[in-house]
Chains A and B, each alone.
Chain A
């Protein structure tokens, strides 16, 4: 009953915040996947130094908390003449960090393909594009989609950190409501439920995507 009253009073104020969370999560995920592909491409084609550079990048982002790049971009970019809006700064930080993880996921999936298949593809006269399209891509998708789904869920949860740099997404909204109304925990319980819904929806989406690319059932 308490939550029904709460929702009728403050429900609509969550919608805008929900939109920001969903939008940031979707765009940052797409950005991270693009960056991850680019990093893997560099690692595979740019020789020894390209490999070292990408490995270094991945190690740095794997061993530092995502809050640091968020602060670095949000507080640092205005100093070098780039006064971007907070949500762009935060989104960029999420892309940079998750791109590192995505490139590792894709690399693992790529390595899971048996080398012999590439010899076989060449011996039946497939060019680089057709080898990629018909041999590499279908298998990489099957191997990587579950892990990519996990990563997107982590990214979705990390969008809550953007509340620390003034973005009014779900967590910030809950904080504002708590401070305005003095209610101790209702706002956060509602937000936690909304996150659970978003996370579950993401998981359902990736499970469906995985089913659709699997060739054996």
Chain B
């Protein structure tokens, strides 16, 4: 399980280098890959020959996470930042961040509660967000960071009896499961498999489409860390998924209706191997399945998710049993013929 290290690596969209380097290292260590390919965008594609080489499956997770980018350096040495991917400024106040390649420590402060008047009830927007790296003035700040530097959440990973706590579970959970699947292979998968670790999902599904320039898979299986929303203040009807209920399966999502044949194959496989699963209760949020379906000749796809609470924030919570059930399900989908056979119907 590589989730701890993957979660603690910094890699907002466009800055996936460190994550990719680590994944590539692990992939090579397994010795189970036929060849590795990287493209100009930064996608990492690992090809594994199958028992039947007539068909090819692309298994996909994105390496990037949401984060911030330095957009301006103020006279007083504080940094203005803008979001990379979907970040709600309300989760930033009081958090520790890491800026630039030199990994400069900083915090996102807010005015002392004693000095707030009307602003107590004001929703902070991007104009209220500053990063303090302890620089006395602009000159000192410029010696440490520059405009365009990435700024990442600083969150250590923690493990409990049935929970993981950390950042970037969307979608390092998917990356980690792919590595686990590869590592656990004792025989060839049913068909050829491309393990595709893609870039820039969070800024608009920008990386995945290019994978189809190099490979011509018959279908895609996207692995995601997705929203839970089973918070106490949200009515059960509005939950997206519920922790501990197993992998969440999408039937419809923003920009894409999941291919019915693949969807059914996932359900059937989960029932065959007796892994609990749940339907994702909300259709919000896009995944790379939507991108692949409209790239080149259009590759049909489906999505399996590990539910995680509070994603797109500095700290999220995931169920260990969900992670392991998702892993079991994905393994079965890769090793058996169920998934690609479904397309012949």
Are A and B a genuine interacting pair, yes or no? no
**Which residues of chain A have a CB within 8 Å of any CB of chain B?**
none
